[in-house]
Amino acid sequence: MMKENKLFGVVGHPIRHSLSPVMHNAVFKKLGLNYSYSAFDIEKNDLDVFLKRCREMNFLGLNVTVPHKVDIIRYLDDLDENARLINAVNTIKFEDNMLLGYNTDGLGCVRALEEGGERIGGKRILILGAGGAARAIVFQCALEGAEIAISNRTMDRAMRLAREIREKLNKRVLVVNFSESSIRDIIPTTDILINATSVGMYPKIHRSPVSSDVLNPKLTVMDIVYNPIETQFLRNAKRIGCKTIDGVGMFVHQGAESLRIWLDIKPPIDLMRKVVVEKLV
């Protein structure tokens, strides 16, 4: 007799661009699990009702994407140490009628950088953005020993994040004004530039967080946007000779960590990457 179907999903707004269902359902099929993973387009004001319904159903886990990674925390029962430190959640585990929050974004980013041949310790990293994903990346890179600078359109948000890093980790973070001139000034002393915003994501694929004028061929440039694989930001960087790292690696590795949390398995990362890339090309 077939076991009862277990439910997983990703919640965000908008969400139709997400390839999380493709990736996770491929894993479930490969492992012969009677599980299903769906995308849920939920607005901020409906998060509470949505999670209450999930509690009543056969859910084992959820991923959380933009713009809910911070707002969703108020509806959870507990956070693991990493999510509490970052104050953002991208993974929820349903366990004993409790909703437990985790964050795998930072680790996913670091593993993608390492796959690309980058060591994080001692590197000078400029991160564009200060939202949920950016928070996770900033904290994880700081924990790995990098020197961090942040630039965000809303200066106050970047300042608050820098203050949190100083208070929680006793590490100094430089805040850079989000202007081409200010970013251009810091680029010569930067090793890695990461776009941790959603700028350039499908369907607005011709947008870039900064112009190619601020880039330097000695930079390693990473974009956490994975759809499209090669964003306008990465195309600009590649054109002037920068080493580039696309967002697929981070997407796959953060998803793999979610699977470890939910199911305590070793995820088939090569399969996960294959199905995502096939869907994008």
Query: What is the CA 241 to chain-centroid distance, rounded?
Result: 26
Q: Is residue 218 among the annotated active site residues? A: no
Distance CA 184, CA 182 (A): 5
**Nearest CA-CA partner of 236 in 202, 277, 195, 197:** 195
> Per the omega criterion (within 30 degrees of 0), is the bond before 268 cis?
no
Helices and strands per DSSP (H, E), number in the chain: 10, 12
Cα 203 to Cα 11, 119, 281: the distances in Å are 19, 32, 15
Are 190 and 219 a contacting pair, CB within 8 Å?
A: yes
Q: Is beta strand 35-41 parallel, antiparallel or unpaired with respect to 192-195?
A: unpaired
> What is the per-residue DSSP string for 28-91?
HHHTT--EEEEEEE--GGGHHHHHHHHHHTTEEEEEE-TT-TTGGGGG-SEE-HHHHHHT--SE
Which of 6, 69, 93, 123 is catalytic? The answer is 69
Are 161 and 173 a contacting pair, CB within 8 Å?
A: yes
Are 192 and 216 a contacting pair, CB within 8 Å?
A: no
> What tokens appear for 262 in the block?
């939910």
Catalytic center residues: 69
